[in-house]
Each structure stands twice: as structure tokens, then as C-alpha cells.
Structure 1
Amino acid sequence: MTQTHIENGTRWLEQAGVRPTRQRVTLASLLVGDGQHRHVTAESLFEAAKGQGDAVSLATVYNTLRAFCEAGLLQEVTVDGSKSYFDTNTHDHPHFFWEDDGKLTDAPSEQLVIAELPDAPEGAEIASVDVVIRLRRKTAKG
């Protein structure tokens, strides 16, 4: 990991008011150090940290991702009601979920049109709308 990655990760945390501990900086640098948006699972981020020789437990990765979500740094996208992906792009946008390899990618926002939403039940308000479009690769027909 380069010094620039570390500086970008540290700045990302500080701008959100999150204390930049060593482990948080390590994970933040993996998430945003190169300036690109990404979708990760706790497990994939854990493996990336481990691959760099950083000693971070899987429990710490889960807790840190939750803290980053609470600070508004990440958006959690749940697929199948149990699998969570964490997105560094926190603006409202749709996603493609690739069933064949379990990957989550951004879908083009400008092509999505939601004309109307149902009214929220009495005493509730709509907090957000998540759009996940499930994809499967076409198989060649013989």
C-alpha cells in the first residue's frame, strides 16, 4: 500500500469525524486509497487486508464496516436478505447483482425511472429505496 493510499484513507476518515486508528486507516486505505469506488463484503476486505500482511480480525472488519456506515462513509446493500455488500459510493444509485459470481456492480442511474412509490404506512416514512437488479449470464444454446 502506498503512502498516497494511506493519506487518502486517513483524509476520508477525518472528513467524516471518524478517529483514524491504525486498523481503520488500513481498511479505509483499501476501500478508498486509490480514489475508486468499490463494493466489498466483510470477507473480501478481510482477505485483502490479510493479503497485505495486516493483522485485522474478521470481527474487527465487520465492526469497522458498521462504524463506517453509521458515519455515512459507506452504504450497505443487502442481497438475498443475508449477504451484505458495502459500497463506497453513498449517493442513491441502482446496482446489478451478478448471480453467477456473487459480484455487485453499479447500474446506470440515468436509465432507471421510478415513476411512483406506494405511500408509506401510517406513522412511517420512506428512508430509502434500494434497487438491486439480479443478472445471470446467458448460456449458449446448442
Structure 2
Amino acid sequence: MTSERPFSDALRRLREAGLRPTRQRLALAKLLFDGGDRHITAEGLHEEALGASIRVSLATIYNSLHQFTAAGMLREVVVDSARSYFDTNTEPHHHFFFEGTGDLADIPGDAIGITSLPAPPEGMQVSRVDVVIRVSKAG
């Protein structure tokens, strides 16, 4: 019987992304990716890290999340100028943003049809379209 080491998936993900597997990156990758797709803020991940006795600064959390995003391990979802979420699901899809709770929920990429887009500025091309639909309780 073979058993996987606790950090083997995190180590594999970091290596595949071309990132050096430091102790902090390994611990954060394990927190992020063990348990399925999810949306998290830097502050939320910092709280989880502290709760798991991982000593790491909020600045290191931000740096790591941006490095993971640049390496293609995460997608950043900017809800407004003061709030960003990091999504472990990097497949094309969109989001509902629940204004009352601040939660995000996935919308399958093929559930939204876009009939036209403006021409991009000269020398540029559209690389991706992200749709965030803001919802609140009716009434």
C-alpha cells in the first residue's frame, strides 16, 4: 500500500508552475488546493494560515497569491477596487457576487453568451472576458 505524503500535491503543483517550493509556498498551496475549488481573499487565507499554526505575514500571503496567479495556478477576480478574490478554478467561467455576504459562486463558462465585443485598442487582442453578476436579496 502506498500513501501520498501530506505535501506531495502542493509540491507537484508548485513544480509544474515553475515556482520554487519554499516552506511558506508549500504550506499556502496545501491550504489553497486541498479541498476542491474555492474563492478566497488574502485576508481569509491569512486567517486560515494562522489557524493552522502557519506563521506567515499578510504581505507574504499577497506576494504568494500574486505569484501563484502569474504562474497560472489561480485566477484573480476583482470585484471592486477594494476587493479581490483568488479562484482555484482556472477553467473559463464567470461569477455571481452576493452583495450581502461577499461570497462568490461559479457560473459555467458556457452559461453566458456574449454576442459582440468592441474592437480592442490597436495592437491589442482580447485574451479573456470575465463576467461578475452582482446579486442581492429581492425586496
- Matched to 2:31, the amino acid is L
Q: How does 1:1-142 map to 2 (within 5 A)?
A: 6-34=7-35, 36-139=36-139
Task: Give, in whole Å, the separation in 1 of the partners of 2:70 and 2:95.
Answer: 21
Task: Give, in whole Å, the separation in 2 of the partners of 1:4 and 1:103.
Answer: 32
Distance 1:108 1:137, change over 3 A: farther
Distance 1:5 1:75, change over 3 A: farther
Q: 1:15: how far off?
A: 1.3
- Matched to 1:119, the amino acid is A
1:5–1:33: 8 Å Cα contact kept in structure 2? no
TM, length-normalised to structure 2: 0.90
- Matched to 1:23, the amino acid is Q
- Matched to 1:9, the amino acid is A
Task: Give, in whole Å, the separation in 2 of the partners of 1:32 and 1:105.
Answer: 17
Q: String of CA shifts for 1:15-67, please: whole Å, max 9, x gaps.
A: 11111111001110011123x01111000000000011110110000000011
Task: Give, in whole Å, the separation in 1 of the partners of 2:17 and 2:80.
Answer: 30
TM, length-normalised to structure 1: 0.89
Secondary structure of 2:133's counterpart equals strand
Task: Give, in whole Å, the separation in 1 of the partners of 2:63 and 2:47.
Answer: 16
Q: 1:81: how far off?
A: 2.5
4+ residue runs over 6 A deviation: none
Q: 1:4: how far off?
A: 5.5
Alignment size in residue pairs: 136
Unaligned runs of 5+ in 2: none
1:97–1:105: 8 Å Cα contact kept in structure 2? yes
Task: Give, in whole Å, the separation in 1 of the partners of 2:97 and 2:123.
Answer: 32
> What percentage of residue pairs aligned between the two structures are identical?
49
Task: Give, in whole Å, the separation in 1 of the partners of 2:7 and 2:134.
Answer: 34
After superposition, the CA RMSD in angstroms is 1.5
Secondary structure of 1:107's counterpart equals strand
2:93–2:110: 8 Å Cα contact kept in structure 1? no
Task: Give, in whole Å, the separation in 2 of the partners of 1:32 and 1:81.
Answer: 26
